[in-house]
Amino acid sequence: MLDFIELKNNKAHAKIALNGGHIFHYERVGQEPLLYLSEISDFEDGKSIRGGIPICWPWFGKPEGKTLQHGFARTSKWTHVSTKEIDEDTTKVILKLNHSEETLKLFPYKFELALHVELGEHLKVELKTTNLDTKAFEITQALHTYFAVSHIDDVEISGLENKPYLDALTYKNEVQNGAITFSKEVDRVYQEVDKTIILKDKNRTLHVESIGSSSCVVWNPWIDKCSRMSAMKQDAYKEFVCIESANAFDDVRLILPNESHILKALIY
């Protein structure tokens, strides 16, 4: 079993693995978990957990010349910096990841990556990238959030109407018409995102606000792809949808030496 931090206060309960800086459980008191977690996920050092909030960094996807899908942060060992009880309803945790000999082979820059998680009635996740090098570098990234749903047939996502997106299945540029519903595989990277995204399920409504981001990924693997995925039941696609706060594709960020960029997601 991986080393993890367990947090509880009057409002919520969460678990964060040091492997990947990965929030793999979050629930409000008296409610069902907000995050989906595969019951057959790997919980081993060096392997990404299937579900929760994987951290895609310093690149999203698998750019040309890269061997790792979604970068190395999601499989690296993070360091616990602090846990602080703000009050009876609010707890804050800070984790960090720094460059090493291994990371410099994959991403030839010195950096500090800090994850701030605030647990309460809302879940606040902040990923701060600081350039410690003498050269500027570019990143793409995502907080790859898996939301638990009652059934994918009952899901509707709004807040992305009339936004342009790249359909990663057809490589065509499209514009969103109306709310998003699911009857097949969906893998889209939306741009010009400037509104709160609303996830409506049969039993609840969730909101996702992003700061430091103008792109968002919406993904569900549907039947065929889900059956081929590792650490995932064949019918798991019915139980989750991913809404990812991101800096992806056109939303690439340039970070100058000694400067920082913050990607933040607020879930409530």
Tokens of 217: 């990924």
Q: What distance separates the 2 farthest-apart alpha carbons in the chain?
A: 51
Q: Please name the helix (run of DSSP H) or strand (run of DSSP E) that holds residue 101, with its range, or none.
A: helix 101-106
Plot region of 51 (φ>0 → left; ψ -120 to 50 → alpha; else → beta): left
Q: Of the residues 22, 70, 126, 244, which is catalytic?
A: 244
Q: Report the C-alpha gap between 93 and 115 in whole angstroms.
A: 8
Q: Report the C-alpha gap between 194 and 215 in whole angstroms.
A: 9
Q: Of the residues 22, 144, 239, 261, which is catalytic?
A: 144
**Alpha carbons within 13 A on the beta-carbon side of 179:** 12
Closest CA relative to residue 267, chosen from 196, 215, 217: 196
CB atoms within 10 A of CB 262: 14
151 counts as catalytic = no
Pairing of strands 79-87, 90-98: antiparallel
> In this structure, which amino acid lies at residue 233?
K
25 counts as catalytic = no
> In this structure, which amino acid lies at residue 226?
C
Catalytically active residues are 144, 244
